[in-house]
């Protein structure tokens, strides 16, 4: 449980077997059972031999259904899983890989997130989408289970329910995989504060300044809070989108995104969101950026790995 | 793949559901009023056209159509209420269900609707059983269950992952596995006698068979019917053909033209004084919606809810609404001495101022005879000597029918002779009555039982002679003795022989064999399925070694039986077969060996595509071949669709790389 976003391993973690597969009539099954009972009652009353035959034939289908539904699920193994980090407020997609070692095909396999009973209702609502899959004999299938990532830090997929109503939808067989899967959830990338592009106060070490006034280095879209003097008025007059002139100075161009700069927001979560927003912006603009948190500093860099490192730091703050 | 929750039912499933409903309703088609049929078909057509977007469906988006649908529902219910006079019976119930299903077809949108529709298709089959419980009906039931179950399986394997062939295989094995469970359930489920609530009388059922009235010409209709009246299995000795008189309703009253039973003979039981051999037999009777039970004259022992009347009939407590089985004992040599005053009076009654010629003839016999027996013999001799003919297609009798028959046309069949004879006897002051029933019977060539068909219907006479009692006199025998000794199909002249299955002469032996087989199957069907009563269940239990019939025993047997069967089927179903080696894999291995011979060895970690690329880079001459084989192989192994490996195998075999 502790390893975040477990790397896919070839090792089989759990295989469904007799002790792990549960079966119970589904809603439709109960409907059919009531109907069969009515037929049986009618047969008794009218002493109708064919009525007896039909009710016992349907009853037989029900009983046989137990075997077939069980057979459709038993022997399936959870092989691996993976989830890419997401921002809070979006959907996290877990890729769960199931292996079928048997020589028969599995139909209508359905995954769902089912943590313990305690907060079942809340978690159930969090399921956005679950796929239904067919798994061929002796093969693996990767299924996507999409949950809503509401809060930062991480989303645990602790218990996956694998179920199937094949072949008649009158019985549901299910089992649970205890998976170590979790998805890192970055703080939502929102914030009103302008990125601290103005860096005079920081000093001029090579890790500091990301923006000077010396050399023109191109345009970028205007953001609330940009100094008025950096606005490219000429372009604005040409009815282009509002752009801001960028200058480089001090021989280095790295932004420092500091925890301290967000102090005005007060609330920790809001400050993390703001930092997250800045990181995303900086990454989008192709800037080098550094992150300074109270107990952690990440040196300036860019690229997806760096971005992930910074956002992870925020997520786990 | 598709989303899990509440998706719309796909078009193909909608069409199949409609088809299932139509199929399940088919046997009812002839029973419905035409308007209901038209209504149902219109609704089905609406749904089909709506599904292919030629017509809008009555959703809330089309308010007027939605209102129209509600009005249609109201109209249908009203029409059903009116046409069935507000009676909630069998027919009205089926009609109502049909109308509801027709409307349901329009709103078959969600998964839930789909399941309800399919389950109702199962249920519709049941409604059929109220009308018919033949083997054919059972076969039809099985057909519908197989089709509906197959569609449910397909519905539950979304996408095209389940091919049609595999679907049918899965479906049929599924139903086949359920059948043993059905059989165990059928025989061991505790049978409770009697209805749990009131059962209404079947009023609209078509009646064939004898009736409590006889007007000249009636039995002709029966005479050409091959329908089975009842079957008899003898336990031991079988009586001679000329003793096979199966007693039915007795005609006491006549207005000169029509005969009727009345309630004269309904008094309490008679005592027969049987002599000679005792025949034990069981009769399986087809429903005739009357209370008569047919037995060999004279019945001395009977079981069940029946009683003997004073004129020797056997009456069931309830009307025979379905096939029934009862056991009897008869002695064909018997004395029947009882007659009450009212019976004597009724047995002498003739309409006044009728049959003048008949009266004159009877009076002349009375004048020249000393005993009643002599008059009886004179009458029989008269039929024998005078040119009387036995035919199933007599001329129409005009005027006084008895006089016309006796003195003019002189041709007819059993009921003409019986009626004329009884009229003669009564005219001569001898108590007499017409007995109707069946005479004869035919042994099934494959099984040890006798079939009595409607065409074996017969009428004969009984006269009361002091001190002997009632004596059976069959005047038909005096004219056409072979009718009595050989049965009806031999008694008729060649040109009026009966329809094919009734005949038993040369050229149709094969057909007769098939007919007998079918009948034998039907017989066992009625013995073991339709006639499986609480009593038979008790017998079965005793045969299985249980002394007392008790619910607990049955429940024990039932659960054990089901559990044992389930265990057996579980072993068969869940047995893990040895892994089948994929032919694609074998072919690819051969391909790799061939490449290894020319110096390219696939690394253990190397994927098929990587390997192909590596080899192709070095051996451009083989690149095309390698690429196509690799493509076929990867498709075989990893594609969703199932394809045959034959193309791959063929290509690999032809692949002959040479060393450079």
> Which domains occur in chain A, in start order?
1-186 (2.60.40.10), 200-315 (no CATH)
Q: From CA B139, how far away is CA B145, in angstroms rounded?
A: 10
Task: Look at residue B578 in the predicted model and tell me its pLDDT.
Answer: 57
Task: Look at residue B182 in the predicted model and tell me its pLDDT.
Answer: 94
Q: Judge whether residue A227 has pLDDT over 70.
A: no
* Interchain contact, A70 vs B574, CB within 8 Å: yes
- Look up residue B507 and give its two tokens: 């050229």
| Active site annotation includes B20 | no
What does DSSP say about strands B258-260 and B469-473: parallel, antiparallel, or unpaired? Answer: unpaired
* Interchain contact, A39 vs B569, CB within 8 Å: no
Show the low-confidence residues of chain B (pLDDT under 70).
1-7, 86-89, 159-161, 194-209, 216-226, 270-271, 393, 445-446, 483-512, 548-549, 576-581, 639-644
What is the DSSP code string of B117-171?
Answer: HHHHHHHHHHHHHTT--SHHHHHHHHHHHHHHHHHHHHHTS-TT-S-HHHHHHHH
Classify B374 as helix, strand or coil.
helix
Using a CB-CB distance cutoff of 8 angstroms, which residues of chain A are in contact with residue B153? 166-168
Task: Identify the closest residue of chain A to B570 by CA–CA distance.
Answer: A67
Residue in B605, B603, B606, B625 with CA at minimum distance from that of residue B616 = B625
> By the CB < 8 Å criterion, does B525 face chain A?
no
Task: Look at residue B499 in the predicted model and tell me its pLDDT.
Answer: 38
Q: Which residues contact B248 (CB under 8 A, 6 or more apart)?
A: B210, B292, B294, B313, B435, B436, B437, B438
Using a CB-CB distance cutoff of 8 angstroms, which residues of chain A are in contact with residue B159? 134
Task: Look at residue B416 in the predicted model and tell me its pLDDT.
Answer: 86
Q: From CA B536, how far away is CA B546, in angstroms rounded?
A: 14
> How many Cα atoms occupy the beta-carbon half-sphere of B387 within 13 Å?
2
Using a CB-CB distance cutoff of 8 angstroms, which residues of chain B are in contact with residue A69? none
Task: Look at residue B202 in the predicted model and tell me its pLDDT.
Answer: 42
Task: Look at residue A36 in the predicted model and tell me its pLDDT.
Answer: 95
Distance from CA of B136 to the nearest CA of A (A): 11
Cβ distance B176 to B159 under 8 Å? no
CB atoms within 10 A of CB B535: 16
The pLDDT tens digits of the residues spanning A116-167 come to: 555 555 555 566 667 788 888 878 888 888 888 888 888 887 778 888 998 8
- Look up residue B556 and give its two tokens: 């024990």
Highest mean pLDDT among A97-101, A189-193, B56-60: A97-101
Average of pLDDT values for A277-303? Answer: 80
What is the DSSP code string of B414-429?
Answer: HHHHHHHHHHHHHHTT
Interface mutation target, options A18, A25, A48, A54, chain B, most CBs of B under 10 Å: A54
Q: From CA B155, how far away is CA B158, in angstroms rounded?
A: 6
Task: Look at residue B487 in the predicted model and tell me its pLDDT.
Answer: 60
Task: Look at residue B643 in the predicted model and tell me its pLDDT.
Answer: 64
Cβ distance B114 to B108 under 8 Å? yes
| Active site annotation includes B474 | yes
* Interchain contact, B152 vs A44, CB within 8 Å: no
Interface of B with A in 308-337 (CB under 8 A): 322
Cβ distance B162 to A80 under 8 Å? no
Q: From CA A229, how far away is CA A42, in angstroms rounded?
A: 89
Q: Judge whether residue A54 has pLDDT over 50.
A: yes
Task: Look at residue B581 in the predicted model and tell me its pLDDT.
Answer: 65
Task: Look at residue B553 in the predicted model and tell me its pLDDT.
Answer: 80
* Interchain contact, A169 vs B152, CB within 8 Å: yes
Task: Identify the closest residue of chain B to A34 by CA–CA distance.
Answer: B119
* Interchain contact, B569 vs A42, CB within 8 Å: no
The 8-class DSSP code of residue B192 comes to P
Task: Look at residue B373 in the predicted model and tell me its pLDDT.
Answer: 87
The pLDDT tens digits of the residues spanning B444-493 come to: 766 778 888 887 888 899 999 887 888 888 888 877 777 666 565 555 44
What is the DSSP code string of B547-601?
Answer: SS--HHHHHHHHHHHHHHHHHHHHHHHH--PPPPPPHHHHHHHHHHHHHHHTT--
The pLDDT tens digits of the residues spanning B208-222 come to: 567 777 776 555 545
Angle (nearest 5°) at CA B603 between B600 and B608: 85
Q: Which residues of B603-635 are buried (b: 16+ CB within 10 A; e: fewer)?
A: eeeeebeebbeebbeebeebeebbeebbebbbb
Size of interface A-B (CB pairs under 8 A): 165
The 8-class DSSP code of residue B406 comes to I
Partners of A22 in the β-ladder:
A174
* Interchain contact, A58 vs B145, CB within 8 Å: yes
Task: Identify the closest residue of chain A to B132 by CA–CA distance.
Answer: A50
What sign has the CA pseudo-torsion B110, B114, B116, B120? positive
Task: Look at residue A261 in the predicted model and tell me its pLDDT.
Answer: 78
> Model confidence at A69, in pLDDT bands (50, 70, 90)?
very high
Using a CB-CB distance cutoff of 8 angstroms, which residues of chain A are in contact with residue B183? 56
Cβ distance B215 to B415 under 8 Å? no
> Model confidence at A301, in pLDDT bands (50, 70, 90)?
confident
Highest mean pLDDT among A21-35, A276-290, B121-135, B223-237: A21-35
Specify burial of residue B581 (Cβ count, 10 A radius: 0-12, 13-18, 19+). Answer: exposed
Phi, psi (degrees; rounded to nearest 5) at B319: -65, 150
Cβ distance A163 to A21 under 8 Å? no
Residue in A108, A155, A147 with CA at minimum distance from that of residue A129 = A147
ipTM value:
0.74
Q: Which residues contact B558 (CB under 8 A, 6 or more apart)?
A: B184, B185, B188, B189, B190
pLDDT-above-90 percentage for chain A? 14
Q: Which residues contact B279 (CB under 8 A, 6 or more apart)?
A: B234, B236, B237, B238, B239, B296, B329, B330, B331, B332
| Active site annotation includes B550 | no
> Model confidence at A246, in pLDDT bands (50, 70, 90)?
low
CB atoms within 10 A of CB B375: 23
* Interchain contact, B186 vs A132, CB within 8 Å: no
Task: Look at residue A63 in the predicted model and tell me its pLDDT.
Answer: 93
Angle (nearest 5°) at CA B55 between B54 and B61: 130
Q: Judge whether residue A214 has pLDDT over 70.
A: no
Residue in B20, B403, B414, B416 annotated catalytic? B414
> By the CB < 8 Å criterion, does B605 face chain A?
no
> How many Cα atoms occupy the beta-carbon half-sphere of B435 within 13 Å?
29
Classify B514 as helix, strand or coil.
helix
Using a CB-CB distance cutoff of 8 angstroms, which residues of chain A are in contact with residue B322? 47-48
Q: What is the mean pLDDT of chain A?
A: 77
Partners of A258 in the β-ladder:
A292
The helix-helix angle for B11-25 and B90-106 (nearest 10°) equals 170
Classify B4 as helix, strand or coil.
coil
Question: What torsion do the CA atoms of B581, B586, B587, B590 make, to the nearest 10 degrees?
Answer: -170
Helices and strands in chain A: count of H runs, count of E runs: 6, 16
């Amino acid at each position: 449980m502790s390893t975040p976003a477990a790397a896919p391993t070839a090792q089989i973690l759990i295989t469904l077997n007799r002790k792990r597969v549960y079966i119970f009539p589904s809603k439709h099954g109960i409907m059919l059972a009531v109907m069969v009972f009515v037929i049986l009652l009618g047969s008794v009353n009218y002493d109708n031999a064919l009525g007896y035959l039909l009710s016992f034939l349907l009853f037989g289908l029900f009983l046989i259904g137990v075997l077939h539904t069980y057979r459709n699920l038993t022997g399936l193994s959870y092989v691996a899983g993976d989830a890419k980090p997401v921002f809070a407020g979006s959907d996290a997609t877990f890729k769960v890989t199931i292996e079928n070692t048997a020589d028969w095909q599995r139909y209508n396999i359905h995954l769902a997130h089912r943590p313990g009973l305690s907060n079942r209702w809340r978690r159930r609502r969090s399921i956005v989408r679950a796929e239904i899959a067919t798994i061929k004999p002796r093969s693996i299938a990767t299924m996507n289970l999409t949950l809503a990532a509401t809060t930062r830090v991480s989303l645990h997929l602790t218990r996956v329910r694998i179920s199937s109503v094949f072949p008649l939808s009158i019985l549901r067989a299910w089992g649970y995989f205890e998976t170590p899967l979790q998805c890192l959830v970055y703080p939502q990338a929102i914030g009103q504060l302008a990125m601290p592009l103005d860096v005079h106060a920081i000093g001029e070490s090579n890790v500091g300044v990301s923006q000077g006034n010396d050399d023109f280095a191109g345009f970028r879209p205007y953001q609330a809070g940009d100094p008025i003097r950096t606005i490219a008025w000429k372009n604005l007059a040409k009815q282009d989108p509002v752009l801001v002139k960028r200058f480089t100075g001090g021989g280095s161009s790295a932004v420092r995104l500091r925890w301290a700069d967000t102090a005005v927001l007060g609330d920790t979560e809001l400050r993390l969101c703001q930092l997250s927003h800045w990181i995303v912006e900086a990454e989008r603009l192709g800037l080098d950026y550094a992150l300074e948190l109270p107990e952690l500093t990440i040196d300036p860099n860019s690229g997806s790995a760096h971005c992930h490192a910074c956002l992870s730091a925020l997520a786990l703050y | 793949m598709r989303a899990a929750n509440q998706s719309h039912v796909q078009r193909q499933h909608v069409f199949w559901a409609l088809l299932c409903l139509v199929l399940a309703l088919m046997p009812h088609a002839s029973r419905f009023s035409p308007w209901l049929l038209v209504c149902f078909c219109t609704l089905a057509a609406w749904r089909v056209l709506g599904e292919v977007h030629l017509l809008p469906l009555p959703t809330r988006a089309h308010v007027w159509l939605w209102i129209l649908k509600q009005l249609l529902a109201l109209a249908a219910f009203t029409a059903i209420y009116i046409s069935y006079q507000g009676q909630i019976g069998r027919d009205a119930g089926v009609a109502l269900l049909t109308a509801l299903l027709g409307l349901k077809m329009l709103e078959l949108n969600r998964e839930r609707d789909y399941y309800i529709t399919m389950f109702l298709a199962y249920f519709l089959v049941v409604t059929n059983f109220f009308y018919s419980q033949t083997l054919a009906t059972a076969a039809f039931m099985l057909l519908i269950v197989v089709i509906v179950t197959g569609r449910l399986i397909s519905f539950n394997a979304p996408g095209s992952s389940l091919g049609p062939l595999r679907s049918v295989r899965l479906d049929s094995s599924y139903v086949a596995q359920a059948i043993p469970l059905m059989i165990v359930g059928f025989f061991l489920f505790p049978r409770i006698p009697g209805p749990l609530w009131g059962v209404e009388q079947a009023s609209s059922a078509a009646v064939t068979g004898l009736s409590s009235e006889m007007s000249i010409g009636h039995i002709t209709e029966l005479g050409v019917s091959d329908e089975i009246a009842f079957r008899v299995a003898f336990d031991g000795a079988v009586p001679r053909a000329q003793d096979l008189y199966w007693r039915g309703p007795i005609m006491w009253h006549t207005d000169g033209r029509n005969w009727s039973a009345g309630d004269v003979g309904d008094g309490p039981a008679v005592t027969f004084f049987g002599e000679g051999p005792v025949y034990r037999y069981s009769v399986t009777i087809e429903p005739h919606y009357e209370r008569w039970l047919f037995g060999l004259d004279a019945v001395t022992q009977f079981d069940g809810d029946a009683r003997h009347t004073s004129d020797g009939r056997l009456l069931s407590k309830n009307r025979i609404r379905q096939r029934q089985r009862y056991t009897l004992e008869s002695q064909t040599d018997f004395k029947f001495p009882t007659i009450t005053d009212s019976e004597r009076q009724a047995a002498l009654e003739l309409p006044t101022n009728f049959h003048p010629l008949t009266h004159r003839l009877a009076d002349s016999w009375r004048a020249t005879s000393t005993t009643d027996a002599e008059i009886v013999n004179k009458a029989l001799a008269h039929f024998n000597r005078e040119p009387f003919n036995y035919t199933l297609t007599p001329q129409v009798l005009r005027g006084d029918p008895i006089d016309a028959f006796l003195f003019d046309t002189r041709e007819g069949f059993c009921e003409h002779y019986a009626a004329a004879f009884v009229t003669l006897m009564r005219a001569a002051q001898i108590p007499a009555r017409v007995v109707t029933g069946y005479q004869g019977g035919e042994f099934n060539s494959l099984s040890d039982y006798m079939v009595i068909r409607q065409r074996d219907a017969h009428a004969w006479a009984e006269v009361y002679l002091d001190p002997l009692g009632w004596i059976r006199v069959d005047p038909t025998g005096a004219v056409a003795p072979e009718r009595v000794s050989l049965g009806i199909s031999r008694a008729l002249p060649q040109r009026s022989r009966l329809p094919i299955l009734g005949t038993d002469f040369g050229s149709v032996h094969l057909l007769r064999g098939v007919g007998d087989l079918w009948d034998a199957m039907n017989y066992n069907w009625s013995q073991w399925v339709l006639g499986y009563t609480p009593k038979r269940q008790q017998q079965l239990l005793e045969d299985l070694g249980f002394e007392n019939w008790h619910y607990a025993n049955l429940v024990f047997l039932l659960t054990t039986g089901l559990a044992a069967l389930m265990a057996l089927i579980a072993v068969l179903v869940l047995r893990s077969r040895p892994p089948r080696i994929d032919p694609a894999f074998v072919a690819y291995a051969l391909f790799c060996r061939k490449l290894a011979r020319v110096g390219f060895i696939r690394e253990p970690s190397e994927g098929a595509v990587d390997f192909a690329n590596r080899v192709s880079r070095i051996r451009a001459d083989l690149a095309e071949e390698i690429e196509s084989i690799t493509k076929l192989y990867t498709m075989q192994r990893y594609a969703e669709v199932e394809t045959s490996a034959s193309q791959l195998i063929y290509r690999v075999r032809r692949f002959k790389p040479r060393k450079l």
